[in-house]
Structure 1
Amino acid sequence: MTVFVALALAVLTLALPARAAVPFDPFGSTAVDSPQDAAVPEHAPFVDRKGRPVDLGTLVRGDVPVVLAPVYYDCPNICSVSTASLTQSLALLTTLEHGRDYRVVFFSFDPREGPAEARKALASLQQRKMDYPALPDLAWLTGGPEAIEGVTRALGYRYAWDAGIGQYSHANAFAVLTPDGRLSRWINAISVEPTDLRLAITEAGAGTVGSMSDFLLMLCYQYDPVTGKYGRVIDVSIKGLAAVTLLCLFGFIGFALWQERRRARREGP
């Protein structure tokens, strides 16, 4: 029995390092899902860049859609690029106005970050001297582990700490919420196209925001959940219409030939 126990302990000792050596898989640990009926929790305590308490659940519920951006303020990689891309696209939305038609909320999913990191992120954007007067009015939030986990889990945003490199592995995407805090769309944050953002906000507002041209433009585009972007429906429609036209043409020609042969048989030689 003693020999058996010793062998079992030896096997476990060898197995533990082997298990720990399994490489971190960023693609398996991070993703963006769209859970059915996903919504921001009604109560989610955060603080803004000035250290004031903010309930994210209340903040995202109101009269207009909200662009909710989960970020990592001290991210050494692409987060700053994605944030700048979003801000630049917002500046180009000439038919929509922050506060009147939509609101933007950034929140860090790193519980170690606080108001100082939020202020630093805003200052970094301000140094780019973008033509976006609403930049100081955007919300920059940080929170504790429970609040962060509650929001990200509810919206289907997955991220993970990679101990090998000492950084968070995460998806680059922004959520567009309806005025009552429900998830409408995830938008690809790698390169935020103004048209995609405009359509997503208009769609989330269900016709309550944007101009008539925004609404008509939305009818010409279709959301692709794989790419997180909008594509022209009109291209598909034209191809479909062309196919139907060809079928009708061939059908007409076939019917005309059949009628001609039938008439010839009746008349005889």
Structure 2
Amino acid sequence: MDLLRLCATLALVILAWGTPATAEKLDAEIAFEQSQAAIGNQTAAHVLRDHRGRDLPLEQFRGKPLVVSLVYTSCASVCPLVTDHLRSAVLESRDVLGAQSFDILTFGFDASGDRPGQLAGFAGTHKLLEIDGWQIASAEEAVTEALLSDLGFSFRAAAGGYAHVTQTTILDSEGKVYRQVYGQSFPLPMLFEPLKELVLGRTTRSFAADALWDRLTFLCTVYDPLTGAYRFDYAIVFGMFFGALSLILMGWVILRLWLERRRAQKERLTVRGRKVV
């Protein structure tokens, strides 16, 4: 938790350096506490506005995990970098979890500046809408304030922009806040691991082939720091297979010995019975 707190604090400080605050300063410690306290929050049925000016109900994303990226489109420094990094991380994660495994929402929190035209321009620059399941939206001030409260996101006006934590929020399939990811170039596992937990599940009680395969994928997908990507580790599969095979063989040997011992006991009892007669 201390490392997570440090990352969140640094993420805020880096942005604040580039935009000296002209209003109330954003306290990094308080912002972090509010962000973490939001974990478990149920997001309300907010209705957003997409890049075409059409209503985009947040409930539309129920049924899958949702990655929410919080930016403002007039940002010329951190937000574009965060978005490009997130795009790469999303593609890497979907290579393993599946193209339809989770959705992404880029939300413009500048209610007065993030209008449909600005959203469309931002999405086009970063090629967001080319990725299936990625939406970009904003909302009126009251809805924006309520949504950001649900997500535990804090920001303050600053000269030429806003000071805010570079926060990406992961919602579960029911719309509850599951995990917060901080920083403009976070390590891939920070995004992938919680998504893997949500998409594949930590446990399964089903014996269906697809459920068992999901469980196997969950156990055997590992991060390779040399390539910066995830891969399916067949060595784990082979280890599990030969381990199970060894247990089966050991069980078979024990069973054979037990059966032979019972047979020998019965034979001795039979011989004794004949002698008595």
**Sequence identity, in percent?**
19
* C-alpha distance after superposition, 1:1-22 (max 9, x if no partner): xxxxxxxxxxxxxxxxxxxx99
Q: Secondary structure at the match of 1:185?
A: strand
Contact 1:85 1:189 in 2 (8 A): no
Q: Secondary structure at the match of 2:27?
A: helix
Question: What does residue 114 of structure 1 align with?
Answer: 115
Deviation at 1:45, TM superposition (A): 1.8
Question: What does residue 155 of structure 1 align with?
Answer: 151
Query: Cα gap change, 1:36/1:104 in structure 2, threshold over 3 Å: closer, same or farther?
Result: closer
Question: What does residue 66 of structure 1 align with?
Answer: 66
Which residue among 37, 44, 47 is the counterpart of 2:46?
44
Question: What does residue 169 of structure 1 align with?
Answer: 163
Question: What does residue 219 of structure 2 align with?
Answer: 216
CA RMSD after TM alignment: 2.9
Which residue among 139, 142, 148 is the counterpart of 1:143?
139
Question: What does residue 253 of structure 2 align with?
Answer: none
Q: Secondary structure at the match of 2:37?
A: coil
Question: Following the alignment from structure 2 to structure 1, what is the Cα–Cα distance between the partners of residues 105 and 31?
Answer: 21
Read off the aligned partner of 2:50 and give its amino acid letter.
D
Read off the aligned partner of 1:155 and give its amino acid letter.
L
Read off the aligned partner of 1:72 and give its amino acid letter.
Y
Contact 2:104 2:134 in 1 (8 A): yes
Query: Cα gap change, 1:26/1:77 in structure 2, threshold over 3 Å: closer, same or farther?
Result: farther
Question: Following the alignment from structure 1 to structure 2, what is the Cα–Cα distance between the partners of residues 194 and 214?
Answer: 18
Read off the aligned partner of 1:110 and give its amino acid letter.
D
Query: Cα gap change, 1:157/1:68 in structure 2, threshold over 3 Å: closer, same or farther?
Result: same
Contact 2:50 2:135 in 1 (8 A): yes
Read off the aligned partner of 2:197 and give its amino acid letter.
E
* C-alpha distance after superposition, 1:212-256 (max 9, x if no partner): 455226899xxxxxxxxxxxxxxxxxxxxxxxxxxxxxxxxxxxx
Contact 2:40 2:178 in 1 (8 A): no
Gaps of 5+ in 1: 1-20, 127-131, 221-269
Question: What does residue 172 of structure 2 align with?
Answer: 178
Question: Following the alignment from structure 1 to structure 2, what is the Cα–Cα distance between the partners of residues 161 and 101?
Answer: 36
Question: Following the alignment from structure 2 to structure 1, what is the Cα–Cα distance between the partners of residues 115 and 60?
Answer: 18
Question: Following the alignment from structure 1 to structure 2, what is the Cα–Cα distance between the partners of residues 214 and 193?
Answer: 21
Which stretch of structure 1 is more off in the superposition, 71-80 or 208-217?
208-217
* C-alpha distance after superposition, 1:190-214 (max 9, x if no partner): 2133322221112234618994455
Note the 1:1-269 alignment, pairs <5 A.
Answer: 24-28=24-28, 30-31=31-32, 32-35=35-38, 37-41=40-44, 43-56=45-58, 58-62=59-63, 64-93=64-93, 94-98=95-99, 100-112=100-112, 113-126=114-127, 134-135=130-131, 137-162=133-158, 165-205=159-199, 207=201, 211-212=214-215, 215-216=218-219
Question: Following the alignment from structure 2 to structure 1, what is the Cα–Cα distance between the partners of residues 70 and 84?
Answer: 14
Read off the aligned partner of 1:80 and give its amino acid letter.
P
What's the TM-score, normalizing by structure 2?
Answer: 0.60
* C-alpha distance after superposition, 1:115-169 (max 9, x if no partner): 111111111113xxxxx9952641000111111111111121111112xx13111
* C-alpha distance after superposition, 1:37-70 (max 9, x if no partner): 31211x21211111111112x12322x1110111
Q: Secondary structure at the match of 1:104?
A: strand
Contact 1:105 1:138 in 2 (8 A): yes
Gaps of 5+ in 2: 1-20, 203-210, 224-277
Q: Secondary structure at the match of 2:126?
A: helix
Q: Secondary structure at the match of 2:81?
A: helix
What's the TM-score, normalizing by structure 1?
Answer: 0.62
Contact 1:61 1:179 in 2 (8 A): yes
Query: Cα gap change, 1:91/1:218 in structure 2, threshold over 3 Å: closer, same or farther?
Result: closer
Number of residue pairs aligned between Structure 1 and Structure 2: 189
Question: Following the alignment from structure 1 to structure 2, what is the Cα–Cα distance between the partners of residues 137 and 35?
Answer: 25
Contact 1:49 1:116 in 2 (8 A): yes
Question: Following the alignment from structure 2 to structure 1, what is the Cα–Cα distance between the partners of residues 22 and 116?
Answer: 36
